[in-house]
Chain A
Amino acid sequence: MTRLRVPYVEKIWRIEDSLVVEVPLTPDEAFARLDPLFQTDGTRYAIEGDTLGYLKTNPRAQDKLATFTSGTLRVEPAQGATRLTYQAASTALLLCFLAPLLFLFFAQVMEAANQWERAKAEASETAKKNKPDEAKDKPLPKLHPIDVMLGAPAPKDPKADKDKQKEPKEKFKTTPAYALAGLFFVLFLVGRVLEPWLLKRTFRQALTRPHGEAAMVDGGSDDPDPARAAPA
Chain B
Amino acid sequence: MAGVQVGKRIIGADAPVTVGWENIGRVQGGPLKQAFFTYFQPVVLFALIAFWYYAPNEWALASVGIWIGLGFKVLLLALEWVNPRYRSWQLTWKEFATDLFYVGLGYTALRMISGYFGDDVMIEAIQGAMDWDKFTWFIGLPLLVQAILISMIFDFGQYWMHRGMHNWYPLWLTHAPHHYITQLNINKGAVGNPIELFLIGLGIGGFFDFLPRAFLIAGAFGMAVGTYQHINVRFNTPRWWRFIFNTTEHHSVHHAQDYEATRSNYSGTWILWDRLFGTCVDGEAELLGMEGGRRMDIGETMVFPFTQAWKDMKARREQRQGLGGASAPQLEPAE
Residues of A within 8 A of B (CB): 41, 58-62, 66-67, 92, 95-96, 99, 103, 106-107, 109-110, 113, 141-144, 146-147, 150-153, 155-156, 171-172, 176-177, 180, 183-184, 187, 190-191, 194-195, 198, 219-220, 223-224, 226, 228-232
Contacts and interface: CB of A to CB of B under 8 A. Distances in A.
Nearest to B88: A224
B211 A141 contact: yes
Nearest to A190: B93
Nearest to A107: B108
Contacts of B56: 153
A202 to B, nearest CB: 12
Contact of B286 (A67, A92, A229): A229
Given A66-B92, A229-B18, A180 B142 contact: no
Nearest to B101: A99
Which among B27, B211, B285 has the greatest number of chain A C-beta atoms within 10 A?
Answer: B211
B141 A172 contact: no
Contact of B183 (A61, A99, A147, A156): A61
7 contacts: A106-B109, A113-B115, A172-B112, A180-B104, A184-B104, A195-B93, A230-B25
B94 interface: yes
B234 A151 contact: no
Nearest to B284: A229
B182 interface: yes
Given A60-B182, A176-B104, A228-B286, 14 more contacts: A41-B294, A60-B293, A61-B95, A61-B295, A99-B104, A106-B108, A144-B142, A176-B108, A180-B104, A187-B96, A187-B100, A226-B286, A229-B86, A232-B84
B93 A229 contact: no
B190 interface: no
Interface residues of B, number: 56
A106 B113 CA distance: 12
Contact of B115 (A41, A106, A156, A172): A172
Contacts of B112: 106, 109-110, 113, 172
A161 B90 CA distance: 47
B240 interface: no
Contacts of B213: 152-153, 155
A59 B107 contact: no
Interface of B: 15-16, 18, 25-28, 53-57, 60, 84-88, 90, 92-98, 100-101, 104, 107-109, 111-112, 115, 139-143, 182-183, 211-213, 234, 285-287, 293-298, 300
Contacts of A190: 93
Contact of B182 (A61, A67, A232): A61
B84 A61 contact: no
A180 B96 contact: no
A162 to B, nearest CB: 15
Contacts of B141: 144
B107 A152 contact: no
B212 A61 contact: no
Which among B56, B96, B101 has the greatest number of chain A C-beta atoms within 10 A?
Answer: B101
Nearest to A176: B107
Which among B26, B84, B88 has the greatest number of chain A C-beta atoms within 10 A?
Answer: B88
Given A61-B94, A66-B92, A232-B84, A180 B107 contact: yes
A147 B93 contact: no
Counting from the closest, the 8 A-B pairs by CB-CB distance are: A231-B25, A224-B88, A106-B108, A176-B107, A226-B16, A229-B286, A180-B104, A144-B142
Contacts of A172: 111-112, 115
Contacts of B296: 58
B90 A147 contact: no
B328 to A, nearest CB: 19
Contact of B143 (A62, A147, A171): A147
A113 B234 CA distance: 44
B294 A232 contact: no
Contacts of A226: 15-16, 286-287
Which among B87, B92, B287 has the greatest number of chain A C-beta atoms within 10 A?
Answer: B92
B181 to A, nearest CB: 9
B55 A191 contact: no
B248 to A, nearest CB: 12
Given A106-B109, A229-B287, A144 B143 contact: yes
A19 to B, nearest CB: 20
Given A61-B95, A103-B108, A152-B53, A144 B182 contact: no
Given A99-B101, A144-B140, A231 B85 contact: yes
Contacts of A151: 54
